[in-house]
Amino acid sequence: MQKVKKTGNGILFGCMVFLLFLVTFEGFMQIPSWLAVAGRMHPMFLHFPIVLLLISFFTVWAPVNKNGDNEWLDLLRLVAALSAVVTAIMGMLLSLEDGRSGQTLELHKWGGVLIAILGFLFYSYYPLLVKKTALTRSFTIVAALAIIATGHWGADLTHGKDYVLEPIKKNQQRLVAPEEAVIFADIIQPVFERKCISCHGESSKKGDLLLEDVKGMLAGGKSGPLFIPGQPDTSLMIQRIHLPVNDKKRMPPASKPQLTETEIDLLYAWVKAGAVTDAKLFSLPEQDSFRVVATSYLQAGSSGPAAPVYAFEAADEKKVMALNNNYRVIAPLGKNSPALAANFYGRTVFSGKALEEILPLKKQIVDLNLSRLPVKDEDVKYIQQLENLRKLNLNYTDITSKGVEQLARLQFLEELTLSGTGVTAAALEKVLSLPSIASVYVWDTKIDSNQLQSFRTKFPNVYVESGFVDKGGEMIALSPPVIKNPAGVFDHKIDLELKHPFKGVEIRYTLDGTDPDSVNSPVYTAPISVDKNITVVARAFKPGWYGSSTVRASFIRRGISPDSVIIATSPNERFTPPAVTALTDGELGSFDNVGNGDWFGYRQNEAAYYLLFNEEVKVESVLLIAAKNLGRHIFPPTSVEIWGGDDKDHLKLLGKISPQPASKGEFSKLLELKVEFPATTVKCIKAVARPVMALPDWVDPKRPPGWVFISEAIVN
């Protein structure tokens, strides 16, 4: 036993010297990788000294070992002291390796050093301490309190501030309605608090990045600014949250609670919208992607006594799931709520039948979004049957006054949006007479200001919005203009229309995909006649305002439509449209939402399609619409090949292109990949797009394969 104790004493003394060395020179040290491994074992090893020290302290209070002559208890104190010193060394190594800073980290670090010193003193001077019971017991009380405080600070570091009390505080949080929500304080900051503050709070400022307030967030960290407003794909935050889980630069790290897909989409849309902080959510344009995502996010997370109470029962879950597809999403408004929200997508596939199909849920649907779809007056007969409908979005649909008048039968309707429709004052008045109506939006309609003022006087309890009234004050950014024509494929010629709800706004645009400026770009004054492929980009400007963010849309002239399509290689099951005709339906996908049913997504395997014609056709080009979204690892294909012939077994290469590789910092966009070749008569075309098989180092050092996404194939 004496030999063991002698060896242990030597190791303990050596470890104590090493700990004091680390404490003294930590600011000048860079540890090797093998010591970093030891540091990362700190969270696993720290439980040993806590238990052993507390047991050894207990022996002072228990009626044993009064003379201090129990060798096994002496060995216990030695092991407790040694484990405390070793754990403190591991903690010092870990703090040197992961680059954290902050008050809580300092408190935890010095608390650990103090415990190690107290353990060393308790063992080394126990024969003297044991003779003074009051002093010894006071010593153990102080040491136990130091262990509790240091453990508390450690929990704050690993799990976030107030981790223990979080369930109680969460229940005490005020639930903010979307119309009252302040963008940063009520939407973005809560996400940071749940998923980021444990590493980037005042208690543990890893990488010198502080996310507890706007000032710290905008200051960025050691790696530079956290984001670039309006440029999510080149922003550090967006790039880091899309890194592989095992990547050491991923945010949050694999050991921490991960962001949900909804939270990732929320942060992406927020940066894209300009990373506004102090404004209210509903000050953004109604169709702004962040406003849409954030409203859904807040509604889904709301619960409690403020939530509406519905008299009807919940619908059968299987029935709801059966009605969901890539062009129609029906989901509960909140947890345990019987109320449903129905959102429709896909202008080219929409029909009245799609509305008729949801009538089995006519009692439960309280929110219906048909924005920018070709909804006709005759389709209102289906909307009328949604007996508990509270909210209806008909923005930029084909509804006229005749259809609007029929909406007066919806006795529970609270909110109606009719911007960009043919509604008249007479039809609107009938809707304003509804007993529950609370707000109506009629931007970009023929209803004039005198008629609106009359409505506001006659219906003082109804909020009628027709545009923004400039009351002066600080400069803020304009909302982007509206491109009235739905993006996609057109047949022969279109008249492109641009609008803005504010008066006195100048709209400048380009047709080549470049961003317009306030000086050199043409000013929109009348509809633009378009008879070829273009990508329109527009911005709004007004004296006393910051220019708006850009809005863009691509318009492709339709070519020769194939009679049938065969998918030669299977896309990823998550990114497979419901029908193969999605490749030629004229509906261009959005590069921000690649899961909306308009995209064929491939990773590792090539994208290949057969386009078949019943009769011989003369072709001279094939255009593939692809996506580029570097933040989501969607890259241009490395090559596009077009093959042609009489059938699938007799094809020859007609043409090939190698698209420009993506570079760091590029924006997301639609890609028009056109392969031209001498005019050739064919009955079968095969289009092949090959993905990037190894991403660049600046995306991911492990260089996994990239994605390629194809939305449309157009033959000319």
Q: How far apart are CA 228 and CA 234, in angstroms?
A: 7
Q: Find the mean pLDDT for residues 78-103.
A: 69
- Strand 415-417 to strand 439-441: parallel, antiparallel, or no bridges (unpaired)? parallel
Contacts of 81 (CB under 8 A, 6+ apart): 12, 53, 116, 119, 120, 122, 123, 124
Q: How far apart are CA 528 and CA 484, in angstroms?
A: 12
pLDDT of res. 571: 92
Alpha helices, H only, 258-373? 261-272, 289-301, 317-323, 352-356
**In which band, very low, low, confident or very high, does the pLDDT at 302 lie, cut at 50, 70 and 90?**
very low
pLDDT of res. 399: 93
Domain 560-715 top-level CATH class:
mainly beta
Q: How far apart are CA 497 and CA 220, in angstroms?
A: 40
pTM: 0.46
pLDDT tops 60 at residue 172: no
Angle, in degrees to the nearest 10, between helices 2-25 and 71-98:
20
CB-neighbour burial class of residue 502 (10 A; exposed 0-12, middle 13-18, buried 19+): middle
Our CA angle for 622, 625, 628, nearest 5°, is 140
H-run or E-run covering 655: strand 650-657
Task: Give CATH superfamily name and number for 308-465.
Answer: Ribonuclease Inhibitor (3.80.10.10)
Q: Find the mean pLDDT for residues 515-530.
A: 91
Stretch among 184-188, 226-230, 304-308, 683-687 having the lowest mean pLDDT:
304-308
Q: Does domain 482-556 have CATH number 2.60.40?
A: yes
Asked if 444 and 419 touch (Cβ cutoff 8 Å), the reply is yes
pLDDT tops 60 at residue 305: no
Q: Find the mean pLDDT for residues 631-652.
A: 92
Contacts of 650 (CB under 8 A, 6+ apart): none
Asked if 670 and 714 touch (Cβ cutoff 8 Å), the reply is no
Our CA angle for 188, 192, 197, nearest 5°, is 155
Q: What counts of helices (H) and strands (E) characterise the chain? A: 21, 24
**In which band, very low, low, confident or very high, does the pLDDT at 676 lie, cut at 50, 70 and 90?**
very high
pLDDT tops 80 at residue 423: yes
Give the pLDDT confidence of 21-76 residue by residue, as tens digits.
Answer: 777 776 666 666 555 556 566 655 666 667 676 677 777 776 654 554 567 777 77
Give the pLDDT confidence of 461-470 residue by residue, as tens digits.
Answer: 888 876 544 4
Cα distances from 127 to residues 13, 118, 651, in angstroms, run: 18, 15, 94
Higher model confidence: residue 593 or residue 191?
191
Q: Which of 169, 43, 46 is nearest to 116 (CA)?
A: 46
> Residue 445 corresponds to which tokens in the numbers above?
């309609």
Q: Find the mean pLDDT for residues 6-32.
A: 71
Q: How far apart are CA 298 and CA 171, in angstroms?
A: 16
